[in-house]
Amino acid sequence: MAVSPLEGRYKTEMNELFDEEAKLASRLEVEVALAYAHAELKNIPVEAAEEIASAAKKVSLKRVDEIEAEIHHDLMAMVKALSENCKKYGGYVHYGATSYDIEDTATALLLKRALGLVRKRLLETQGILKRHAQQHKETVCIARTHGQHAVPTTYGMKFALWFAEIGRHLERLEQAEKTISVGKMSGAAGTMATFQGKGTKIQGLVMKRLGLEPAPITNQVIQRDRHAQVLFALALIASTLEKIAKEIRNLQRTEIMEVAEPFASKQVGSSTMPQKRNPHKSERVCSLARLVRANVAVALENIALEHERDLTNSANERFIFAQSFILTDYMLKETNKILSGLEFFPENIARNLELTGGAVMAEKIMIELTERGMGRQEAHELMRRCSLEAFKNKKKLIEVLKEQEEVRKFIPVGELEKMFNPRNYIGEAVQIVERVVGK
């Protein structure tokens, strides 16, 4: 029976990259590459490398687990299982290598492949955001700062902002993949002593076969700043997904209700309140982002290993790599579903735009007064006083302004009325969106 929700509720295609079968396959892949490197340098017969490659296909996870139960060393259990499947050349398995030559290089393969899946999801997210930005570049709504109505903006601006942020994450992923796509074949302390002068060549041949870069220098392990960078990139992605989900949650509040995450016809919002339409998918995204971010702290702790290495990173890495990647992948899938089915309520968008009785146009009028000769600070103070008066007396701002001789002196009443259309005060929003996501 599964204990972790990663094996059920939050399971994605990412699980297949981090399950025990995948880990074993990656380790065997490195062992085979090592054998072929030795053969190319004539350290072992070509037939030995071919036999090891053939034997690798016969190694079972069950047998590896049986051996580990006896010897209490997971990597050596794999070496023994591989060796016993060789009829003649089993003695050349793992020749000259230490455990983390295999482990860290195999991990690099796993993380590189996992980053590829994250990139695929991110591109889907970016595509959905682009469509929304284009479709809603002229959908005027109220902007909110400090939780208060500010000035008019457009929904296209919201989506284009997120689109651009996803673009930066794609750049970070590219850098993270480059950083982590390195392997080592350098022995117990990084000196390559066991390879008797051929270490650099062996390492280069192994990594070329695996599609990785050879680490320029290591001790017993590849340095953990590389792994921390990968998890930090995932944490940044998770934080952006939380940002998107939090905005949707807030805009779905009953008293706002401008947009809402999709809600199935038979979906239940509450076990006791039948009317509820809770944004639980968005809330789930926000919740999981905290876990992904928390794992970065663990990855940072792993950087400062003692001397040429200790084992304090090993146990926690069995959690943080798989957990961070699987949760990020799940969050991306959920976010893509939410955004794809996002429901808009135009009447509420329009209602909220007018909710303050035109007070959100105070900046516009202040600028107009300044343009027509009033001092900027004087105009600001005038609009501040008028806005407070309108709020206190529950009047529309334009009604208060019409009574002000100071205002009428610069702006005729007829012109003033035209200035209170929020749709005429979105600046270059449409052009900004088009510049960011394309027309």
Strand pairing category for 148-154 and 140-145: antiparallel
The token pair at 110 is 């796993």
Q: How many domains does the chain have?
A: 3
Give φ, ψ of 222 to 5 degrees.
-70, 135
Given a contact cutoff of 8 angstroms between Cβ atoms, the answer to whether 93 and 53 are in contact is no
- Tell me if 100 is assigned to some domain: no
- Tell me if 205 is assigned to some domain: no
Q: Is 146 a catalytic residue?
A: yes
CATH number at residue 437: 1.20.200.10
Tell me: do 131 and 152 sit in the same domain: yes
The token pair at 102 is 């295999």
- Tell me if 213 is assigned to some domain: no
Tell me: do 402 and 335 sit in the same domain: no
Strand pairing category for 182-183 and 148-154: unpaired
Give the DSSP H/E element, type plus range, for residue 37: helix 20-40
- Measure the CA angle with vertex 79, ends 74 and 80; round to 5°: 95
DSSP states along 411-431: S-HHHHHHTT-GGG--TTHHH
> What is the pLDDT at residue 1?
65
Tell me: do 252 and 305 sit in the same domain: yes
Given a contact cutoff of 8 angstroms between Cβ atoms, the answer to whether 43 and 95 are in contact is yes
Tell me: do 153 and 232 sit in the same domain: yes
User: Which one of 72, 146, 271, 307 is the catalytic residue?
Assistant: 146
280-301 vs 314-340: helix axis angle to the nearest 10?
150
Domain boundary among 67, 95, 123: 95
Tell me: do 237 and 371 sit in the same domain: no
> What is the pLDDT at residue 267?
76
Residue of 157, 326, 327, 171 lying closest to 247 (CA atoms): 157
pLDDT tens sequence across 257-296: 999 999 777 777 777 788 778 899 999 999 999 999 999 9
DSSP state of 260: E
CATH number at residue 395: 1.10.40.30
The token pair at 133 is 């930005």
What does the alpha-carbon distance between residue 150 and residue 388 come to, in Å, rounded to a whole number?
15
- Tell me if 144 is assigned to some domain: yes
- Tell me if 199 is assigned to some domain: no
Residue of 137, 139, 162, 141 lying closest to 150 (CA atoms): 141
Spell out, as residue ranges, where the chain has pLDDT lower than 50. none
Tell me: do 339 and 251 sit in the same domain: yes
Given a contact cutoff of 8 angstroms between Cβ atoms, the answer to whether 33 and 206 are in contact is yes
Q: Is 149 a catalytic residue?
A: no
DSSP states along 63-105: HHHHHHHHHS-HHHHHHHHHHHT-SS-GGGTTTT--HHHHHHH
Tell me: do 369 and 306 sit in the same domain: no
Tell me: do 240 and 344 sit in the same domain: yes
Given a contact cutoff of 8 angstroms between Cβ atoms, the answer to whether 285 and 334 are in contact is yes
What does the alpha-carbon distance between residue 139 and residue 157 come to, in Å, rounded to a whole number?
9
- Tell me if 208 is assigned to some domain: no
Largest alpha-carbon pair distance within the chain?
A: 103
Tell me: do 133 and 226 sit in the same domain: yes
Tell me: do 176 and 46 sit in the same domain: no
User: Which one of 4, 54, 60, 270 is the catalytic residue?
Assistant: 270
- Tell me if 194 is assigned to some domain: no
Tell me: do 283 and 349 sit in the same domain: yes
- Tell me if 1 is assigned to some domain: no
Give φ, ψ of 57 to 5 degrees.
-75, -15
Contacts 24+ apart (CB under 8 A), 83-88: 83/55, 85/55, 85/56, 85/58, 85/59, 86/51, 86/52, 86/55, 87/51, 88/47, 88/48, 88/51
Residues 6+ apart with CB under 8 A from 292: 231, 234, 235, 238, 323, 324, 327, 328, 331
What does the alpha-carbon distance between residue 173 and residue 150 come to, in Å, rounded to a whole number?
35
For 254, the 3-state DSSP assignment is coil
Q: Which domain holds residue 406?
A: 359-419
Q: What is the dihedral of CA 399, 402, 405, 406, to 10 degrees?
A: 80
The token pair at 274 is 């039948």
What does the alpha-carbon distance between residue 131 and residue 138 come to, in Å, rounded to a whole number?
13
Tell me: do 294 and 176 sit in the same domain: yes
